[in-house]
Chains A and B, each alone.
Chain A
């Protein structure tokens, strides 16, 4: 690990400008990548003493302070009852220890698990712009089939982000005394020619809180994650889905996919195919066929197209009470 200086401010004004510095909260991504020298900050700013905590549920919806730990949010009674998809996505992420350590803001900013990004001895446009993408013709079974470019095919690793994007969540960003609200879906950028730029976060800007609107569909929601191991593994495919049902008819839906794309991937065509339709397996199958539209499979991950469609069906059967 390269040397760095450390400070732990207790107010936003002392957190200062970023420059060659990085913020650290839980450290589960940062320390790992610093040991690999994928990240080499000259200064670490420990943000754990900043006032960015609390989990509150009210008329407006759910507010989660960015420093709340994954395990605390997953177990929170209001989250379990009103936003089960968030709780389930968190509980299917990482391990117990990591969920106890990792912050919600840090989860949203975690870096990709692409093996080439983590290996400083191989080319990677995300780690070293312009060096090339080793995954395009390399080991790419785990990589993305949607939202890719000729520069990068790495997946976004967060399960939480998939659930939050499905629920139209926003995040509040703080910089130099002023804040702005950004929809999480817009916050994440496609890799294009600049895969090193992953979000709209400006240097020195912090995620302070996550806001999830109150909605008629969030209570009937779930997260289905398909992976090589039953636990402690990243997604091959995953689906966050929420349904608003009136009798036997689907009034509205929210749905997004993980493990298949370079950012949490909304599935608007699937959603459109559900609205106004009867709640049954035929509806779900027809909608699921629209998932993966526009997919560009690589040499080793062609299986993800059909797996994604099947994951959509399974998630819909589960959330619709038909499984």
Chain B
């Protein structure tokens, strides 16, 4: 296992071999952080009626028609009521940036924003998310321009394997937006629902502190 960077390390220091590794990690992060949204993805779209009902409507097969607003875009799905928002995002809308970790609300990998608040997509039924504004990791970047928190995670090495990173970034954005950046302790408390088995916690705290001033102009 790679030795984790100490808190004392300069976030952007170029250690031996650091440059190439960082470039690689940068690319990895860009993928993890959802830059692939710039590439057109084949989206499984259902035929959308012109006046999709706001309330989910039952179909004969027991499936329900549900309209979801994801990253500003309306998506209409025909789904079994058992489908969680997480599975709808990943398997129906091909937004795979949101990760499935424990699938029981314990790890935070599936964190998205629902009406501006961080929430667990694995414990949210898609049918119950209708009419709400849903933001996923893919909705943070503006084209090729990364969100300040995404940039800061790369700059501070806020991850190793990257699996928890989407959820960490979504919680980190909420942490700054909700104003819980008064101290490291406050940041850690706000972020405690996001587990990182690689142990990148100190660097995640650094990334939040680095990104916070850049978000004050109403970015994101």
Question: A217-231 vs B: 1/0 string, CB under 8 Å?
Answer: 000000000000011
Given contacts A3-B80, A8-B55, A35-B104, contact A101 B124 (CB under 8 A): yes
Q: A230 contacts which chain B residues (CB < 8 A)?
A: 192
Binds B, one of A54-62, A90-98, A255-263: A90-98
For chain A residues 82-119, which have a beta carbon within 8 Å of chain B?
94-98, 100-101
Q: A36 contacts which chain B residues (CB < 8 A)?
A: 104
Q: B128 contacts which chain A residues (CB < 8 A)?
A: 8, 24, 27, 46, 48
Q: A181 contacts which chain B residues (CB < 8 A)?
A: none
Chain A nearest Cβ from B40, distance in angstroms = 31
For chain B residues 61-109, which have a beta carbon within 8 Å of chain A?
62, 64, 80-82, 84, 103-105, 108
Question: B134-161 vs A: 1/0 string, CB under 8 Å?
Answer: 0000000000000000000000000000
- Contact call A6/B56, Cβ cutoff below 8 A: yes
Contact of A27 among B103, B111, B124, B189 (CB under 8 A): B124
Measured in the bound complex, the distance between the Cα atoms of B35 and A183 in whole Å is 53
Does chain B have a CB within 8 A of A4?
yes
Does chain B have a CB within 8 A of A151?
no
Residue of B nearest to A101 (CB): B119
Does chain A have a CB within 8 A of B120?
yes
Q: A8 contacts which chain B residues (CB < 8 A)?
A: 55-56, 127-128
Looking at B175, B191, B192, the one whose CB has the most chain A CB atoms below 10 A away is B192
Contact of B171 among A1, A4, A71, A97 (CB under 8 A): A97
Main secondary structure of the interface of B (DSSP, over half): mixed
Chain B nearest Cβ from A26, distance in angstroms = 8
Does chain A have a CB within 8 A of B117?
yes
- Contact call B81/A4, Cβ cutoff below 8 A: yes
Does chain A have a CB within 8 A of B163?
no
Residue of A nearest to B64 (CB): A6
Q: A303 contacts which chain B residues (CB < 8 A)?
A: none
Given contacts A27-B125, A32-B104, contact A96 B82 (CB under 8 A): no
- Contact call B108/A97, Cβ cutoff below 8 A: yes
Chain A nearest Cβ from B53, distance in angstroms = 12
- Contact call B82/A28, Cβ cutoff below 8 A: no
Looking at A94, A100, A232, the one whose CB has the most chain B CB atoms below 10 A away is A100
Measured in the bound complex, the distance between the Cα atoms of B125 and A6 in whole Å is 10
Chain B nearest Cβ from A14, distance in angstroms = 12
B contact residues vs A (CB 8 Å cutoff): 55-56, 62, 64, 80-82, 84, 103-105, 108, 111, 114, 117-120, 122-125, 127-128, 171, 174-175, 188-194
Supply 24 A–B pairs (Cβ within 8 Å), ascending by A: A1-B82, A3-B62, A4-B81, A6-B127, A8-B127, A27-B128, A32-B104, A35-B103, A44-B125, A71-B117, A96-B118, A96-B171, A96-B190, A96-B192, A97-B118, A97-B120, A98-B105, A98-B120, A100-B117, A100-B118, A101-B119, A230-B192, A231-B189, A232-B193
